[in-house]
Structure 1
């Protein structure tokens, strides 16, 4: 299942965009009821002042566009779901930090993400009382894993809402003063799991759609 079919299967109308100039990006944004920030290439460290370090292919203009979208969504309380890179971008947009390369920085080698490396699987522990717990309906469930970067410390107005067995954050969500904003980021790839899988796209995207009512379009940026 792709991001587009996941949105369609949940009853939404997906609209994909390119990293456009700000004025044009704003026009598209104002015609959307929610944002879905998808997975993809690494975030450019220059986009968040990360300095030199290990990273794969980057797209600075895409970073710029998605950071703008996230900033607008936070201000306007537009519901947002970030997947893999999208979760990391949500965290960076709100001042959080990243593990830029899990194996070399903290020895966490069980998350996949290397070139030609197969997708891995592990359980995730979901925080009690979290929005994610209410969406997924479970405190622990299996998920796929294909990433070498991850959220490290949660940004302002965010909290970690799930962990991998090695302690690496697997999800973040809006909290505190931003608790009224539906903003959830997950490190795994729900769109690659069976539609009815407990960590799959159905529950997550349906929750996004519900938060976005009335829905006219959802936006997988990129």
Structure 2
């Protein structure tokens, strides 16, 4: 069976290499590609480019990955002191989200990806989530990766159907989330403190947008719990590929 072709967005960072310190690089944690490939897809990494339509026309699915904050100017808020923003990445990913919806292209949006998806269609964010039992300040790496909180999924939502349960426990590696959902989208998951943890489109666009990081839940039991999300996304990409192949064949 042909593997659907999935693009995953990257994060521009400065890294040390044999050619010098602080070299600019487009990066992505290996944990993003692994579960997508395990679900049966082929993966390509997507740095920002002006050729958004050309990229989308070649994809069967899109992963909007996590990373740094989106520039608050995108939704009418003030920048945070000491924060820097990647305006090129913001513009690229917002254009990808809009183009994907126009095409009905399946999208898995993770953390920042959820935030990009909401901003792209007119929603806004909480610039800094108030501290609560469920959302502590961002900690050192080990503590942050091990932090967990419960969520409740909306009964009847596509996400609840994917997981087969209305109640889950997920990781928490974010200090922002949705404030006002974009028109045409609805929240479908929340923490006990009321923070939105997932959204879906009101129409049949196959979008799974989650605030947690399913790819970073790598312990065997947690990875097994998250596998249905990647499987559903890749299955939707496979259907998209088949439908477009049939449509192209019919025009010959």
Q: TM-score range by the shorter chain?
A: 0.7 to 0.9
Task: Flag structure 1 segments of 5+ consecutive residues without an equivalent.
Answer: 217-222
Change in Cα spacing, 1:53 to 1:161, as seen in structure 2 (3 Å) is same
1:210 maps to 2:239: no
Alignment partner of 1:82: what SS?
strand
Q: Which residue of 1 aligns with 2:38?
A: 9
Per the alignment, residue 216 of structure 2 pairs with 192
- Aligned CA RMSD, in angstroms, stands at 2.1
How many Å separate the matches in 2 of 1:140 and 1:75?
Answer: 32
Query: Which has a greater percent of strand?
Result: 2
Name the TM-score, length of structure 2 as normaliser.
0.76
Secondary structure of the 1:4 match is: helix
Structure scoring higher RCO (CA < 8 A, sep ≥ 6) equals 1
Q: C-alpha displacement at 1:188, in angstroms?
A: 0.5
Greater mean deviation of Cα atoms: 37-46 or 187-196: 187-196
Post-superposition CA distance 1:83-133 (Å, at most 9, x none) = 000011111111111011013xxx446324625362220110000000100
1:10–1:55 CA distance, 2 compared to 1 (3 A) = farther
- Compared with structure 1, are the counterparts of its residues 33 and 112 closer, same or farther at alpha carbon in structure 2 (3 Å cutoff)? farther
CA spacing shift, 1:108–1:57, aligned 2, 3 Å:
farther
Unmatched 5+ residue regions in structure 2?
1-29, 242-252
The within-5 A match list for 1:128-207 is: 128-175=155-202, 179-194=203-218, 197=222, 200-207=225-232
Q: Is the 8 A contact 1:33 1:78 kept in 2?
A: yes
The superposition leaves residues 36-81 of structure 1 with CA deviations (integer Å, 9 ceiling, x where unpaired) of 1011111111233323446734211001000000000111111111
- Give the TM-score normalised by the residue count of structure 1: 0.86
CA distance in 2, matches of 1:9, 1:80: 17
What is the aligned length? 208
Instruction: Establish whether residue 114 from structure 1 lines up as the match of residue 141 from structure 2.
Output: no
Q: Distance in 2 between matches of 1:197 and 1:110?
A: 19
Contact 2:106–2:240 (CA under 8 A) maintained in structure 1: no
